[in-house]
Amino acid sequence: MTITAAADGSALGNPGPNGWAWYIDDANWGAGGSPHGTNNQGELQAVLELLRATAGTDESLLIMCDSKYVIDSITKWMPGWKRRGWRKADGAPVLNRELMESLDEAMRGRDVKFEWVKGHAGHDLNEAADERANSAAKAYQQKVEPQRGPGFTLGGSSADRPATARPATEPASTTPPAQLWAEASDLLDSLNEASETTSIELRIALSPTEHSRLRDRADAQGISLEDALRRLI
């Protein structure tokens, strides 16, 4: 079986508030973004998040993109970039290197093929991904929490699915992140700091989806991942 998905990105202002989304069907999709980025960064992030979300499956993956830049970067140019220390043929540094390196790592050992589709041409999967990526970009523009989707729920029992994946019937939260984080901050403000004499180190393993959501929240607030975690206490 081959999993067929579309991945797309969006940026309002390019650069500006940006969004990414991947879409398989209404029960399997994910979206997110950042307060500031380019369209190409959104396109690359969409593919990266799709690869991360499906990392636990052995099925082959067909990714449909309307960005030839993304497809060519991964399938044609990346081997040469790596040989030259992530520099282009003219010696200039590769743009979006961090994303490219993450994509290179996520592709290892995977059976992945890409197919170019024309954007805004009525392709069902592409249109669904584009709509969600654009909605995420608008959410960051309005400083509200984007609709992130149910994640990847195909294959295996519910016990095998990521803890962050919501059932397809569960409505996505529309609560602005500022409200959620303000409530967490209120909890912190109510702590009696004088009673704390020592610090306790806590380590937690996050899934790629959980890490992505935490990173998006931290970026939206302009804080570190550690501070974002603290605000959730």
Judge whether 162 and 152 are in contact, CB under 8 Å. Answer: yes
Catalytic residues: 8-9, 43, 66, 120, 130
- Residue 194 has, within 13 A of its CA and on its CB side, a CA count of 0
SS3 43: helix
Judge whether 32 and 10 are in contact, CB under 8 Å. Answer: no
39-53 and 97-107 helices, crossing angle to 10°? 20
d(CA 43, CA 167): 26
Q: Please give the helix or strand (H or E) that residue 34 lies within, else none.
A: strand 28-37
Judge whether 12 and 137 are in contact, CB under 8 Å. Answer: yes
In sequence order, the 6+-apart residues with CB closer than 8 A to the CB of 216 are 32, 33, 34, 146
Cβ-count burial 190-223 (b if 16+ within 10 Å, e if not): eeeeeeeeeeeeeeeeebbbeebbeebbbbbbee
Token code pair at residue 19? 């969004």
